[in-house]
A and B are shown apart, each in its own frame.
Chain A
Amino acid sequence: MIPLSWLIGLSAIVFTIGVVGVLVRRNALVIFMSIELMLNAANLAFVAFASEMKSLDGQVFVFFVMTVAAAEVAIGLAIIVHLFRLRETVFVDEIHLLKG
């Protein structure tokens, strides 16, 4: 049996990597991927706790998270493509019209 703390630690590490990716990269697609990483880290934590508590609810939540992720990716990519058509770039620091 794998100790819970390992799993949670792993999930924490992956999550952090995702955060760093979001903060460091300027390519919208890569940022998106990093967000996926974070989601998966959360999923890992869910599954870990589920197996620790011997209950399926955690896994069901992971299922929902996956669905949401799918929808989110579809929309997000569509937006990125549209943005590229308009602005010829996917670099988020070249798109800052929304400043106060």
Chain B
Amino acid sequence: MLPVLFVAFAALLVVTSLMVVLHKNPVTSALFLVLAFCSLAGIYLLLRAEFLGMVQIVVYAGAIMVLFLFVIMYLNLQHDVETGLQIAVRRGIGWFVGALMLLTGAALLKRGWALGPANEVMPGAEQGNVAAIGRVLYSRYLFPFEITSILLLVAMVGVIMIARGRTGHPSVRMGPAAERGAAGGSA
């Protein structure tokens, strides 16, 4: 049962992420990325990481990608025009490097890993691993956790500072582009 589901999810993941890269319309790419994240969440569930699976959906699908969609709609981006020699060249290079990287990855895969189980049984395997993760997070990783919160605070401040531009009020620095973006689908 598990392998079947895994293969299904994996295939979905690979296809969708390929579509993210290949599709010309940023909105569609974003949607495929959402799908990819959801399938990844499925894989997490298969790996008995329920908490991560859900958080994956909440954070990535529910927050980050919505943000992406926002921006795309706000900037009102249509299909990317990707023509011309330069693009072709870079595309060739890109795929070549990708193939190279995949080969190296295969080389890595062949080596195999010398790691044994750290514990006999996965902590919190029975009543869901939320409590277990919480216990680890707030005991051994407490300091990184706090640091992360600070990081988020900094990010918030930074975003506000960037978004409002140099002069005080955001509405002041609305360039023509921004107006077009705000005008929505009229374009």
Contact = CB atoms under 8 A, between A and B. Distances in A.
Interface of A: 1-2, 4-10, 12-21, 23-27, 29-30, 32-34, 36-37, 40, 43-44, 47-57, 59-60, 62-64, 66-75, 77-82, 84-86, 88, 90-91, 93
A20 B141 contact: no
Contacts, number: 239
B49 A50 contact: yes
A36 B59 CA distance: 12
A20 B174 CA distance: 34
A97 to B, nearest CB: 17
Given A74-B155, A82-B165, A6 B10 contact: yes
Contact of B51 (A25, A43, A59, A84): A59
A63 B64 contact: no
A86 B162 CA distance: 12
Interface in B142-179: 144, 148, 151-152, 154-156, 158-159, 162-163, 165, 173-178
Given A51-B49, A67-B152, A90 B159 contact: no
B59 A33 contact: no
Interface residues of B, number: 93
A54 B117 contact: yes
Given A30-B80, A66-B59, A79 B162 contact: yes
Nearest to A77: B71
21 contacts: A2-B3, A12-B102, A13-B14, A14-B14, A19-B98, A20-B21, A24-B21, A25-B80, A26-B80, A29-B72, A30-B21, A49-B115, A54-B121, A55-B118, A60-B133, A70-B155, A71-B152, A71-B155, A81-B71, A81-B74, A93-B86
